[in-house]
Structure 1
Amino acid sequence: MNFLAHLTLSHFSADLQVGNYLGDLLRGKEVAQLREGIHRGVLMHRAIDRLTDADADVRAVNRLLRSRHGRYAGVISDIAFDHYLCRNWVLLGPVPFALFTRTTYRNLLAAREEMPERARRYVNGMVEDDWLSLYATADGMHKVFERLLPRLSRPEKLAGVEESLQEYDAAINRALLLLFPRLQSLAESYREQPPSP
Protein backbone atom coordinates (compact mmCIF):
# COMPACT_ATOMS: atom_id res chain seq x y z
CA MET A 1 0.00 0.00 0.00
CA ASN A 2 1.19 3.50 -0.75
CA PHE A 3 0.33 6.90 0.77
CA LEU A 4 -3.38 6.93 0.00
CA ALA A 5 -4.15 3.55 1.56
CA HIS A 6 -2.11 4.27 4.70
CA LEU A 7 -3.73 7.68 5.16
CA THR A 8 -7.20 6.25 4.49
CA LEU A 9 -6.80 3.48 7.04
CA SER A 10 -5.72 6.00 9.69
CA HIS A 11 -8.24 8.73 8.79
CA PHE A 12 -9.87 8.64 12.23
CA SER A 13 -6.83 10.06 14.06
CA ALA A 14 -4.58 12.96 13.08
CA ASP A 15 -1.65 11.45 15.02
CA LEU A 16 -2.05 8.04 13.41
CA GLN A 17 -2.30 9.68 9.98
CA VAL A 18 0.92 11.60 10.54
CA GLY A 19 2.65 8.42 11.73
CA ASN A 20 1.38 6.48 8.72
CA TYR A 21 2.67 9.24 6.45
CA LEU A 22 6.09 9.09 8.13
CA GLY A 23 6.27 5.28 8.18
CA ASP A 24 8.56 4.93 5.15
CA LEU A 25 10.39 8.22 5.64
CA LEU A 26 11.90 7.72 9.12
CA ARG A 27 14.36 5.25 10.60
CA GLY A 28 15.49 4.12 14.04
CA LYS A 29 16.26 7.07 16.30
CA GLU A 30 13.90 9.39 14.41
CA VAL A 31 10.98 7.05 15.12
CA ALA A 32 11.93 6.65 18.78
CA GLN A 33 11.84 10.44 19.23
CA LEU A 34 8.24 10.83 18.06
CA ARG A 35 5.48 11.51 20.52
CA GLU A 36 3.35 8.51 21.42
CA GLY A 37 0.37 8.95 19.07
CA ILE A 38 2.54 9.55 16.00
CA HIS A 39 4.87 6.71 17.03
CA ARG A 40 1.84 4.38 17.11
CA GLY A 41 1.01 5.56 13.59
CA VAL A 42 4.46 4.48 12.38
CA LEU A 43 3.94 1.08 14.03
CA MET A 44 0.52 0.85 12.38
CA HIS A 45 2.09 1.67 8.99
CA ARG A 46 4.55 -1.18 9.41
CA ALA A 47 1.81 -3.61 10.51
CA ILE A 48 -0.19 -2.69 7.38
CA ASP A 49 2.89 -3.36 5.24
CA ARG A 50 3.50 -6.75 6.90
CA LEU A 51 -0.11 -7.86 6.43
CA THR A 52 -0.08 -6.68 2.81
CA ASP A 53 3.25 -8.35 1.99
CA ALA A 54 2.09 -11.67 3.49
CA ASP A 55 -1.26 -11.72 1.65
CA ALA A 56 -1.55 -14.56 -0.88
CA ASP A 57 -3.50 -12.49 -3.43
CA VAL A 58 -1.00 -9.64 -3.23
CA ARG A 59 1.85 -12.09 -3.72
CA ALA A 60 0.04 -13.51 -6.76
CA VAL A 61 -0.28 -10.00 -8.23
CA ASN A 62 3.42 -9.40 -7.59
CA ARG A 63 4.29 -12.64 -9.40
CA LEU A 64 2.31 -11.44 -12.43
CA LEU A 65 4.08 -8.06 -12.38
CA ARG A 66 7.52 -9.56 -11.76
CA SER A 67 7.65 -11.19 -15.20
CA ARG A 68 7.89 -7.76 -16.85
CA HIS A 69 9.04 -5.45 -14.04
CA GLY A 70 11.38 -7.59 -11.94
CA ARG A 71 12.17 -6.40 -8.44
CA TYR A 72 9.90 -3.36 -8.81
CA ALA A 73 6.76 -5.53 -8.81
CA GLY A 74 6.03 -4.75 -5.15
CA VAL A 75 6.53 -1.02 -5.64
CA ILE A 76 4.19 -1.07 -8.63
CA SER A 77 1.51 -3.04 -6.78
CA ASP A 78 1.70 -0.66 -3.79
CA ILE A 79 1.03 2.29 -6.09
CA ALA A 80 -1.60 0.38 -8.07
CA PHE A 81 -3.53 -0.47 -4.91
CA ASP A 82 -3.92 3.25 -4.22
CA HIS A 83 -5.41 3.67 -7.70
CA TYR A 84 -7.81 0.78 -7.12
CA LEU A 85 -8.72 2.22 -3.74
CA CYS A 86 -9.76 5.41 -5.56
CA ARG A 87 -11.76 3.38 -8.06
CA ASN A 88 -13.57 1.69 -5.17
CA TRP A 89 -13.76 4.80 -2.95
CA VAL A 90 -17.56 4.76 -2.67
CA LEU A 91 -17.27 1.27 -1.18
CA LEU A 92 -14.05 1.63 0.86
CA GLY A 93 -13.52 5.33 1.58
CA PRO A 94 -14.42 6.64 5.04
CA VAL A 95 -15.85 9.99 3.84
CA PRO A 96 -16.25 11.72 0.45
CA PHE A 97 -12.87 11.90 -1.29
CA ALA A 98 -12.62 15.72 -1.45
CA LEU A 99 -13.33 15.96 2.30
CA PHE A 100 -10.82 13.21 2.99
CA THR A 101 -8.01 14.91 1.07
CA ARG A 102 -8.73 18.32 2.64
CA THR A 103 -8.72 16.88 6.16
CA THR A 104 -5.64 14.76 5.52
CA TYR A 105 -3.61 17.64 4.10
CA ARG A 106 -4.65 19.82 7.04
CA ASN A 107 -3.53 17.13 9.52
CA LEU A 108 -0.16 16.69 7.81
CA LEU A 109 0.52 20.42 7.52
CA ALA A 110 -0.38 20.96 11.18
CA ALA A 111 2.29 18.42 12.20
CA ARG A 112 5.10 19.73 9.97
CA GLU A 113 7.11 21.09 12.88
CA GLU A 114 7.31 17.58 14.35
CA MET A 115 8.78 16.16 11.14
CA PRO A 116 12.40 16.00 10.00
CA GLU A 117 13.25 18.48 7.25
CA ARG A 118 13.06 15.99 4.36
CA ALA A 119 9.60 14.79 5.47
CA ARG A 120 8.50 18.44 5.75
CA ARG A 121 9.59 19.15 2.18
CA TYR A 122 7.86 16.01 1.01
CA VAL A 123 4.56 16.94 2.67
CA ASN A 124 4.74 20.45 1.22
CA GLY A 125 5.04 18.97 -2.28
CA MET A 126 2.27 16.48 -1.60
CA VAL A 127 -0.16 19.21 -0.60
CA GLU A 128 0.86 21.75 -3.26
CA ASP A 129 0.55 19.20 -6.07
CA ASP A 130 -2.41 17.29 -4.55
CA TRP A 131 -0.67 13.93 -4.82
CA LEU A 132 -3.55 11.96 -3.35
CA SER A 133 -5.85 12.95 -6.20
CA LEU A 134 -3.32 11.71 -8.75
CA TYR A 135 -4.27 8.12 -7.92
CA ALA A 136 -7.82 8.69 -9.20
CA THR A 137 -7.06 8.95 -12.93
CA ALA A 138 -4.95 7.30 -15.61
CA ASP A 139 -3.19 10.64 -16.27
CA GLY A 140 -2.49 11.00 -12.56
CA MET A 141 -1.06 7.50 -12.37
CA HIS A 142 1.20 8.31 -15.31
CA LYS A 143 2.54 11.28 -13.30
CA VAL A 144 3.03 9.10 -10.20
CA PHE A 145 5.14 6.61 -12.17
CA GLU A 146 7.07 9.41 -13.91
CA ARG A 147 8.01 10.84 -10.49
CA LEU A 148 9.24 7.44 -9.42
CA LEU A 149 11.64 6.95 -12.37
CA PRO A 150 14.54 9.15 -11.13
CA ARG A 151 14.61 7.24 -7.83
CA LEU A 152 15.10 3.83 -9.47
CA SER A 153 18.46 2.25 -10.28
CA ARG A 154 16.85 0.46 -13.25
CA PRO A 155 14.12 2.80 -14.50
CA GLU A 156 13.76 0.79 -17.71
CA LYS A 157 11.99 -1.86 -15.61
CA LEU A 158 9.00 0.49 -15.37
CA ALA A 159 8.49 0.38 -19.14
CA GLY A 160 5.01 -0.87 -19.95
CA VAL A 161 3.70 -0.43 -16.41
CA GLU A 162 0.42 1.10 -17.54
CA GLU A 163 -0.16 -1.79 -19.93
CA SER A 164 0.57 -4.22 -17.08
CA LEU A 165 -2.06 -2.57 -14.90
CA GLN A 166 -4.59 -2.92 -17.71
CA GLU A 167 -3.63 -6.53 -18.33
CA TYR A 168 -3.89 -7.51 -14.67
CA ASP A 169 -6.77 -5.18 -13.83
CA ALA A 170 -9.13 -7.87 -12.50
CA ALA A 171 -6.46 -9.56 -10.36
CA ILE A 172 -5.31 -6.29 -8.79
CA ASN A 173 -8.85 -5.12 -8.10
CA ARG A 174 -9.79 -8.49 -6.58
CA ALA A 175 -6.69 -8.52 -4.35
CA LEU A 176 -7.51 -5.05 -3.03
CA LEU A 177 -11.17 -5.84 -2.38
CA LEU A 178 -10.28 -9.01 -0.47
CA LEU A 179 -7.43 -7.48 1.52
CA PHE A 180 -8.82 -4.07 2.43
CA PRO A 181 -11.43 -5.27 4.98
CA ARG A 182 -8.65 -7.09 6.84
CA LEU A 183 -6.57 -3.91 6.81
CA GLN A 184 -9.57 -1.97 8.13
CA SER A 185 -9.84 -4.44 11.04
CA LEU A 186 -6.14 -4.01 11.75
CA ALA A 187 -6.55 -0.23 11.65
CA GLU A 188 -9.50 -0.45 14.04
CA SER A 189 -7.31 -2.24 16.58
CA TYR A 190 -4.93 0.74 16.55
CA ARG A 191 -7.85 3.11 16.95
CA GLU A 192 -8.97 1.24 20.05
CA GLN A 193 -5.53 1.15 21.71
CA PRO A 194 -5.50 3.45 24.71
CA PRO A 195 -2.54 5.83 24.86
CA SER A 196 0.34 4.85 27.11
CA PRO A 197 0.29 6.45 30.59
Structure 2
Amino acid sequence: MNHLLHLYLVDPHPECRLGALFGDYVKGPLDQRLPDGIRHGIMHHRRLDSFAETSVVFRRSRKRLNPALRHCRGILVDMAYDHFLAQNWETYHHQPLEDFATSIYRLLQHHQSTLPKRLQASLPRMLAANWLVALRHIEHIDSVLHRLASRLSRPNLLATGKAEILRNRHGLEADFTAFMVECRHRFQSPPSRHLMQSR
Protein backbone atom coordinates (compact mmCIF):
# COMPACT_ATOMS: atom_id res chain seq x y z
CA MET A 1 0.00 0.00 0.00
CA ASN A 2 3.01 2.34 0.03
CA HIS A 3 2.40 3.76 -3.46
CA LEU A 4 4.44 6.91 -2.89
CA LEU A 5 7.58 5.10 -1.74
CA HIS A 6 7.44 2.76 -4.74
CA LEU A 7 7.00 5.70 -7.11
CA TYR A 8 9.86 7.60 -5.49
CA LEU A 9 12.37 4.75 -5.71
CA VAL A 10 11.57 3.35 -9.16
CA ASP A 11 13.24 4.42 -12.40
CA PRO A 12 11.50 7.69 -13.40
CA HIS A 13 10.65 6.42 -16.88
CA PRO A 14 6.83 6.69 -17.24
CA GLU A 15 6.37 2.97 -17.96
CA CYS A 16 8.41 2.07 -14.88
CA ARG A 17 6.27 4.32 -12.72
CA LEU A 18 3.16 2.62 -14.09
CA GLY A 19 4.69 -0.75 -13.27
CA ALA A 20 5.50 0.39 -9.75
CA LEU A 21 1.78 1.05 -9.25
CA PHE A 22 0.74 -2.15 -11.03
CA GLY A 23 2.75 -4.14 -8.49
CA ASP A 24 -0.07 -4.23 -5.91
CA TYR A 25 -2.52 -5.54 -8.52
CA VAL A 26 -0.51 -7.92 -10.75
CA LYS A 27 0.38 -11.24 -9.15
CA GLY A 28 2.18 -14.33 -10.43
CA PRO A 29 4.26 -14.67 -13.61
CA LEU A 30 4.48 -11.53 -15.70
CA ASP A 31 2.80 -11.33 -19.08
CA GLN A 32 5.73 -11.03 -21.50
CA ARG A 33 3.55 -8.92 -23.79
CA LEU A 34 3.75 -6.08 -21.25
CA PRO A 35 6.14 -3.27 -22.23
CA ASP A 36 9.66 -3.61 -20.84
CA GLY A 37 9.29 -0.57 -18.61
CA ILE A 38 6.09 -1.81 -16.97
CA ARG A 39 7.65 -5.21 -16.30
CA HIS A 40 10.73 -3.46 -14.88
CA GLY A 41 8.50 -1.41 -12.57
CA ILE A 42 6.54 -4.44 -11.36
CA MET A 43 9.74 -6.35 -10.62
CA HIS A 44 11.16 -3.32 -8.81
CA HIS A 45 7.98 -3.22 -6.70
CA ARG A 46 8.37 -6.89 -5.83
CA ARG A 47 12.05 -6.53 -4.94
CA LEU A 48 11.29 -3.62 -2.63
CA ASP A 49 8.49 -5.57 -0.92
CA SER A 50 10.81 -8.56 -0.47
CA PHE A 51 13.54 -6.36 0.94
CA ALA A 52 11.14 -4.81 3.45
CA GLU A 53 10.25 -8.28 4.71
CA THR A 54 13.90 -8.93 5.62
CA SER A 55 14.88 -5.39 6.70
CA VAL A 56 15.84 -5.13 10.37
CA VAL A 57 14.48 -1.57 10.39
CA PHE A 58 11.11 -2.50 8.88
CA ARG A 59 10.79 -5.43 11.29
CA ARG A 60 11.56 -3.10 14.19
CA SER A 61 8.70 -0.86 13.07
CA ARG A 62 6.31 -3.80 13.02
CA LYS A 63 7.35 -4.81 16.52
CA ARG A 64 6.54 -1.33 17.82
CA LEU A 65 2.86 -1.91 17.00
CA ASN A 66 0.18 -3.69 18.99
CA PRO A 67 0.73 -7.46 18.49
CA ALA A 68 -3.04 -7.87 18.25
CA LEU A 69 -2.82 -6.27 14.80
CA ARG A 70 -1.04 -9.45 13.67
CA HIS A 71 -0.66 -9.62 9.87
CA CYS A 72 -1.92 -6.03 9.53
CA ARG A 73 1.20 -4.59 11.14
CA GLY A 74 3.05 -4.67 7.80
CA ILE A 75 0.21 -2.79 6.09
CA LEU A 76 0.26 -0.19 8.84
CA VAL A 77 4.02 0.31 8.57
CA ASP A 78 3.65 0.74 4.79
CA MET A 79 1.05 3.45 5.33
CA ALA A 80 3.07 5.15 8.07
CA TYR A 81 6.18 5.26 5.87
CA ASP A 82 4.22 6.80 2.99
CA HIS A 83 2.82 9.35 5.45
CA PHE A 84 6.31 10.32 6.60
CA LEU A 85 7.63 10.45 3.03
CA ALA A 86 4.81 12.80 2.01
CA GLN A 87 5.41 15.02 5.02
CA ASN A 88 9.16 15.20 4.34
CA TRP A 89 9.02 15.07 0.55
CA GLU A 90 11.17 18.16 0.00
CA THR A 91 14.02 16.39 1.81
CA TYR A 92 14.05 13.61 -0.76
CA HIS A 93 12.88 15.05 -4.08
CA HIS A 94 13.58 18.26 -6.00
CA GLN A 95 10.04 18.46 -7.41
CA PRO A 96 7.18 19.68 -5.18
CA LEU A 97 4.91 16.84 -4.16
CA GLU A 98 1.90 18.57 -5.74
CA ASP A 99 3.66 18.65 -9.13
CA PHE A 100 4.93 15.09 -8.80
CA ALA A 101 1.43 13.86 -7.93
CA THR A 102 -0.10 15.72 -10.88
CA SER A 103 2.36 14.04 -13.25
CA ILE A 104 1.41 10.61 -11.88
CA TYR A 105 -2.32 11.31 -12.22
CA ARG A 106 -1.85 12.42 -15.83
CA LEU A 107 0.14 9.28 -16.53
CA LEU A 108 -2.62 7.08 -15.09
CA GLN A 109 -5.32 8.92 -17.01
CA HIS A 110 -3.37 8.62 -20.26
CA HIS A 111 -3.05 4.86 -19.77
CA GLN A 112 -6.42 4.34 -18.08
CA SER A 113 -7.62 1.66 -20.50
CA THR A 114 -4.56 -0.52 -19.80
CA LEU A 115 -4.61 -0.27 -16.00
CA PRO A 116 -5.44 -3.35 -13.91
CA LYS A 117 -9.17 -3.42 -13.22
CA ARG A 118 -8.88 -2.62 -9.50
CA LEU A 119 -6.58 0.30 -10.21
CA GLN A 120 -8.99 1.55 -12.86
CA ALA A 121 -11.80 1.41 -10.32
CA SER A 122 -9.73 3.32 -7.74
CA LEU A 123 -8.57 6.04 -10.11
CA PRO A 124 -11.59 8.37 -9.78
CA ARG A 125 -11.28 8.29 -5.97
CA MET A 126 -7.52 8.82 -6.22
CA LEU A 127 -8.01 11.92 -8.36
CA ALA A 128 -10.91 13.33 -6.36
CA ALA A 129 -9.10 13.00 -3.02
CA ASN A 130 -5.59 13.76 -4.39
CA TRP A 131 -4.31 10.65 -2.63
CA LEU A 132 -0.57 11.18 -3.02
CA VAL A 133 -0.63 14.68 -1.53
CA ALA A 134 -3.28 13.75 1.04
CA LEU A 135 -0.85 11.21 2.50
CA ARG A 136 0.61 14.14 4.44
CA HIS A 137 -2.48 14.18 6.64
CA ILE A 138 -3.13 11.59 9.33
CA GLU A 139 -6.88 11.88 8.77
CA HIS A 140 -6.42 10.63 5.22
CA ILE A 141 -4.37 7.70 6.52
CA ASP A 142 -7.18 7.00 8.98
CA SER A 143 -9.81 6.89 6.23
CA VAL A 144 -7.65 4.58 4.09
CA LEU A 145 -7.12 2.21 7.02
CA HIS A 146 -10.86 2.08 7.76
CA ARG A 147 -11.56 1.29 4.11
CA LEU A 148 -8.92 -1.45 4.06
CA ALA A 149 -10.21 -2.91 7.33
CA SER A 150 -13.68 -3.33 5.82
CA ARG A 151 -12.28 -5.05 2.73
CA LEU A 152 -10.18 -7.69 4.49
CA SER A 153 -11.85 -11.06 4.86
CA ARG A 154 -10.50 -11.75 8.37
CA PRO A 155 -11.53 -9.80 11.47
CA ASN A 156 -8.84 -7.20 12.09
CA LEU A 157 -7.89 -4.12 14.10
CA LEU A 158 -6.59 -2.10 11.16
CA ALA A 159 -9.11 0.66 11.85
CA THR A 160 -7.17 1.38 15.08
CA GLY A 161 -4.08 2.16 13.00
CA LYS A 162 -4.23 5.94 13.34
CA ALA A 163 -3.91 5.68 17.12
CA GLU A 164 -1.03 3.20 16.75
CA ILE A 165 0.86 5.53 14.41
CA LEU A 166 0.37 8.48 16.74
CA ARG A 167 1.34 6.43 19.81
CA ASN A 168 4.56 5.24 18.17
CA ARG A 169 5.21 8.23 15.92
CA HIS A 170 8.69 9.12 17.19
CA GLY A 171 10.05 5.60 16.83
CA LEU A 172 8.31 4.91 13.53
CA GLU A 173 9.59 8.12 11.97
CA ALA A 174 13.13 7.35 13.09
CA ASP A 175 12.78 3.89 11.53
CA PHE A 176 11.46 5.45 8.33
CA THR A 177 14.51 7.72 8.06
CA ALA A 178 16.84 4.74 8.49
CA PHE A 179 14.81 2.66 6.02
CA MET A 180 15.08 5.43 3.42
CA VAL A 181 18.87 5.41 3.73
CA GLU A 182 18.85 1.65 3.11
CA CYS A 183 16.46 1.91 0.18
CA ARG A 184 18.18 4.82 -1.54
CA HIS A 185 21.47 2.95 -1.36
CA ARG A 186 19.98 -0.32 -2.58
CA PHE A 187 17.29 0.67 -5.07
CA GLN A 188 17.59 4.24 -6.32
CA SER A 189 19.79 4.39 -9.38
CA PRO A 190 20.03 6.34 -12.65
CA PRO A 191 17.46 5.31 -15.31
CA SER A 192 18.52 2.21 -17.21
CA ARG A 193 20.05 2.93 -20.62
CA HIS A 194 17.60 0.97 -22.79
CA LEU A 195 14.66 2.73 -21.13
CA MET A 196 16.27 6.14 -21.57
CA GLN A 197 16.62 5.39 -25.29
CA SER A 198 12.89 4.65 -25.55
CA ARG A 199 11.80 8.07 -24.21
Q: TM-score range by the shorter chain?
A: 0.7 to 0.9
Normalising by structure 2, we get a TM-score of: 0.87
Preserved contact between residue 72 and residue 156 of structure 2 (Cα < 8 Å): no
Match of 1:9 in 2: 9
After TM superposition, the runs of 4+ consecutive aligned structure 1 residues lying more than 4 A away are: none
Q: What value does the CA root-mean-square deviation take over the aligned residues?
A: 2.3
Counterpart position of 1:70: 70
**Hey, what's the Cα distance between the residues in 1 that align with 2:190 and 2:153?**
36
Measure, in 2, the Cα distance between the counterparts of 1:10 and 1:36.
14
Cα pair distance change 1:112/1:87, threshold 3 Å: same
**In 2, Cα distance between equivalents of 1:31 and 1:81:** 30
CA contact (8 A) 1:16 1:37 kept: yes
Does the 8 A contact of 1:133 with 1:140 survive in 2? no
Residue 6 of structure 1 deviates from its aligned partner by 0.9
- Cα distance, 1:46–1:85 mapped onto 2, change above 3 Å: same
C-alpha deviations, 1:9-61, integer Å up to 9, x for none? 23722111100000010123564331111110001111111222211011011
Gaps of 5+ in 2: none
Instruction: Give the gaps of 5 or more residues in structure 1.
Output: none
- Structure 2: how far apart are the matches of 1:72 and 1:101? 27
User: 2:173 maps to what in 1?
Assistant: 173
Letter in 2 for 1:124: P
> Are positions 1:107 and 2:107 aligned together?
yes
Aligned to 1:49: 49
Deviations 1:126-152 (A, max 9, x none): 223321122111221121112212212
Q: Is structure 2 residue 126 aligned with structure 1 residue 126? A: yes
- What's the % identity of the aligned pairs? 24
Deviations 1:71-122 (A, max 9, x none): 1100111111100111221212341111111111111222223223333222
- 8 Å CA contact retained: 2:68, 2:157: yes
